[in-house]
């Protein structure tokens, strides 16, 4: 799953970040602000960290996995801070979020809540690091919760036309994969998979409803104003 998510991230950001020099026609889809070079590098580091940590466990390098744990926690903090700042910067653009037809102050509810959930899942994963079954599922859910940002940028017509709903639905495939793995290995769905997956899925329509309220739009306008 970790490698699959890394492939999805590469596919989504290849034209606008990783292989940008080879796709000049996609320049209008790339974030123009310099902060997004840092943002993209840190998020890439997170995906690489997840893959590496998963491989260390697979190869029974437990001590190495644990020794890098606090580095991962610090990296997660950077992901949260840059995620929040990047979302506010994007919402401040005249055209709003690139490739998203929704009003930027309304759509801001989607990435901000994604970042909050990411921080929550990683925080719980750190707190429950002695419980391997819960820890690894929380780390996966944290990353699944952010994977839509890559999916929505994959140049496939139905994803582009159905943004952000099509990309959100496709991200749930990873939750389904977690459920299937639980059923195949233990015969039941682990409580972290169940409740974490439900939180991710149910929170989306809740966010959409909240984003249309004047209270949210007012808050979003104030938050965006903080970026200058």
Tokens of 168: 């959100």
Count of Cβ atoms closer than 10 Å to residue 54 Cβ: 17
The structure tokens listed for 82 are 């840059």
Summarize the confidence of residues 163-173 as an average pLDDT. Answer: 90
Exposed/middle/buried for residue 39 (C-beta within 10 Å: 0-12, 13-18, 19+)? buried
For the chain, percent of residues with pLDDT exceeding 70: 100
What's the confidence (pLDDT) of residue 164?
A: 80
Q: What is the DSSP letter of 190?
A: -
Find out whether 200 and 206 touch, Cβ atoms under 8 Å.
no
Q: How far is 22 from 12, CA to CA, in rounded Å? A: 15
pLDDT of 139 over the 80 cut: yes
What separation in angstroms does the CA of 64 have from each of 60, 69, 124, 186?
A: 9, 9, 21, 27
The domain ranges of the chain are: 2-225
How confident is residue 160, by pLDDT bands cut at 50, 70 and 90?
confident
Stated pTM of the model: 0.92
**Range in 117-126, 162-171, 209-218 with the lowest mean pLDDT:** 162-171
Predicted confidence band of residue 98 (pLDDT cuts 50, 70, 90): confident
């Amino acid at each position: 799953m970790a490698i699959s998510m890394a492939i999805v991230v590469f596919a989504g950001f290849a034209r606008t970040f990783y292989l940008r020099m080879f796709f000049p026609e996609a320049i209008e889809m790339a974030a123009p602000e310099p902060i997004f070079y840092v943002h993209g590098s840190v998020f890439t580091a997170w995906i690489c960290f997840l893959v590496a940590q998963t491989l260390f466990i697979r190869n029974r390098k437990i001590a190495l996995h644990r020794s890098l744990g606090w580095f991962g926690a610090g990296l997660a903090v950077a992901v949260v801070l840059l995620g929040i700042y990047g979302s506010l910067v994007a919402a401040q653009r005249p055209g709003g979020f690139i490739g998203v037809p929704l009003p930027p102050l309304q759509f801001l509810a989607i990435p901000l809540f994604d970042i909050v959930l990411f921080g929550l899942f990683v925080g719980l994963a750190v707190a429950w690091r002695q419980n391997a079954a819960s820890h690894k599922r929380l780390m996966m859910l944290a990353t699944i919760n952010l994977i839509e940002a890559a999916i929505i940028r994959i140049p496939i017509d139905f994803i582009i036309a159905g943004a952000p709903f099509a990309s959100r639905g496709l991200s749930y495939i990873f939750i389904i994969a977690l459920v299937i793995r639980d059923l195949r290995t233990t015969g039941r769905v682990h409580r972290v998979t169940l409740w974490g997956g439900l939180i991710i899925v149910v929170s989306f329509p809740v966010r959409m409803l909240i984003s249309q309220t004047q209270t949210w739009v007012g808050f979003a306008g104030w938050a965006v104003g903080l970026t200058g």
